């Protein structure tokens, strides 16, 4: 319990250094727990492996935060603060990446229920256009029902941006969105991002050089540089850490808004630990399984 509160205080102190406000939208009555404090509590819980709100509020019962906010109000406000949480994550990522020029793009499956239940599942079906569906994961050679997480990270392992799509959407379509988010860099992808027209379009419009391995039967085939192969493992390691330490594939959400908030909170928690490692504890950036208490 003390460890959670210490994490919360450290994360709140960090957020106050990069945020210009404590509350981000108008409320008729000033809340006991500010928006920034609520986000810090959410990230502290995720960094501690508490992805259940029931368990979080049981742990807070006898702490200094007890009685400051009800669980249902906490959940509603947390959803409203999605864009502000993402803004804080972006600020942390910019400080970590600096002027990085090389980035890695990849995707991972996020299952919300088993295939046998997908026909009667009502999870995440409140928003038209954001319905989950069935897709295929080539790395696991299996079909699944849910969403796909698309992400770009630096070669050091810091998430620069990410997005969610239904499971059936091909990886290559995410590259069209990258044009509005990145420029003047080198993007390393696997064979799922192999497309000459998109490769040329990225270079001509936003000066992004997409490097992907060629298939063995392609004309002018040449071996993929070893340094690119080695660098690409970083994002696969990050995905494994999200699955293991942050339990990103364990879903309790019933709505799409709740689902995307959970994903954002876990990625923000990972980025926050990296930030604290570098600027507070002077540790290795990706040493994530550590004690954050001072």
Q: How does pLDDT run across 253-285, given as a tens digit for each residue?
A: 899 999 999 999 999 999 999 999 999 998 888
Burial 78-113 (b: 16+ CB within 10 A, else e): beebeebbbebbebbbeebbeebebbbbbbbbbbbb
Locate 167 and state its tokens.
């499971």
HEC string of 167-219? CCCCHHHHHHHHCCCCCCEEEECCHHHCCHHHHHHHHHHHCEEEECCCCCCCC
- Whole-number CA gyration radius for the chain: 20
Quote the crossing angle between the two packed helices 71-80 and 35-47, to the nearest 10°: 100
Q: Is the pLDDT of residue 288 over 50?
A: yes
Amino acid 289: pLDDT: 82
Q: What is the DSSP letter of 52?
A: -
Amino acid 294: pLDDT: 57
Q: Is the pLDDT of residue 180 over 80?
A: yes
Mean pLDDT value of segment 154-173? 93
CA distances (Å), 261 to each of 52, 145, 151, 169, in order?
A: 13, 19, 16, 21
Predicted model pTM = 0.93
Locate 278 and state its tokens.
């570098």
Q: Which residue carries 């106050």 as its tokens?
A: 16
Confidence of residue 251 (pLDDT cuts 50, 70, 90): confident
* Residues paired with residue 260 on neighbouring β-strands, in sequence order: none
Q: Is the pLDDT of residue 292 over 80?
A: no
Amino acid 221: pLDDT: 66
Alpha carbons 171 and 235: distance in angstroms, whole number: 15
Of 214 and 25, the structure prediction assigns the larger pLDDT to 25
CA dihedral 270, 239, 155, 287 (to 10 degrees): 50
Q: Say if residue 166 is exposed, middle or buried (CB neighbours under 10 Å; 0-12, 13-18, 19+).
A: middle
Alpha carbons 274 and 270: distance in angstroms, whole number: 6
Q: Is the pLDDT of residue 2 over 60?
A: no
Asked if 110 contacts 133 with a C-beta cutoff of 8 angstroms, the reply is: no
Quote the crossing angle between the two packed helices 256-279 and 35-47, to the nearest 10°: 80
Q: Say if residue 276 is exposed, middle or buried (CB neighbours under 10 Å; 0-12, 13-18, 19+).
A: buried
Amino acid 46: pLDDT: 93
Confidence of residue 50 (pLDDT cuts 50, 70, 90): confident
| pLDDT tens digits along 184-199 | 999 998 888 888 888 8
Confidence of residue 218 (pLDDT cuts 50, 70, 90): low
| pLDDT tens digits along 66-125 | 889 999 999 999 999 999 999 999 999 999 988 888 999 999 999 999 999 999 999 998
Alpha carbons 48 and 56: distance in angstroms, whole number: 10
Of 217 and 61, the structure prediction assigns the larger pLDDT to 61
Q: Is the pLDDT of residue 44 over 80?
A: yes
Q: What is the DSSP letter of 145?
A: E
Amino acid 1: pLDDT: 45
Amino acid 262: pLDDT: 94
Share of the chain above pLDDT 90, in %: 60
Amino acid 89: pLDDT: 96
* Residues paired with residue 113 on neighbouring β-strands, in sequence order: 145
Considering the domain 100-251, what is its CATH architecture? 2-Layer Sandwich (3.30)
Average pLDDT in the chain: 89
């Amino acid at each position: 319990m003390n460890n959670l509160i210490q994490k919360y205080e450290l994360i709140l102190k960090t957020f106050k250094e990069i945020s210009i406000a404590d509350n981000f939208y108008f409320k008729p009555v000033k809340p006991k727990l500010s928006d920034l404090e609520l986000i810090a509590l959410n990230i502290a819980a995720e960094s501690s492996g508490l992805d259940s709100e029931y368990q979080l509020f049981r742990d807070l019962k006898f702490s200094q935060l007890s009685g400051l906010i009800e669980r249902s109000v906490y959940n509603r406000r947390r959803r409203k603060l999605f864009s502000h949480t993402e803004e804080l994550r972006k600020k942390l990522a910019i400080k970590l990446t600096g002027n990085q020029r090389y980035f890695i793009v990849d995707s991972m499956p996020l299952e919300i229920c088993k295939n046998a239940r997908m026909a009667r599942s009502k999870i995440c079906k409140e928003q038209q256009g954001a319905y989950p569906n069935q897709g295929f994961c080539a790395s696991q050679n299996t079909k699944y029902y849910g969403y796909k997480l698309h992400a770009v990270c630096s070669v050091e392992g810091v998430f620069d941006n990410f997005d969610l799509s239904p499971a059936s959407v091909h990886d290559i379509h995410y590259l069209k969105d990258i044009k509005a988010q990145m420029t003047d860099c080198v993007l390393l992808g696997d064979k799922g991002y192999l497309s000459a027209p998109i490769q040329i379009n990225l270079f001509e419009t936003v000066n992004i050089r997409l490097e992907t391995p060629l298939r063995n039967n392609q004309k002018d085939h040449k071996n993929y540089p070893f340094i690119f192969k080695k660098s690409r493992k970083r994002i696969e390691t990050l995905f494994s850490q999200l699955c293991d330490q942050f339990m990103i594939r364990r879903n309790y959400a019933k709505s799409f808004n709740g689902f995307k908030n959970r994903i954002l909170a876990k990625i923000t928690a990972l980025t926050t630990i990296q930030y604290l490692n570098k600027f507070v504890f002077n540790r290795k950036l990706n040493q994530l399984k550590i004690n954050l208490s001072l």
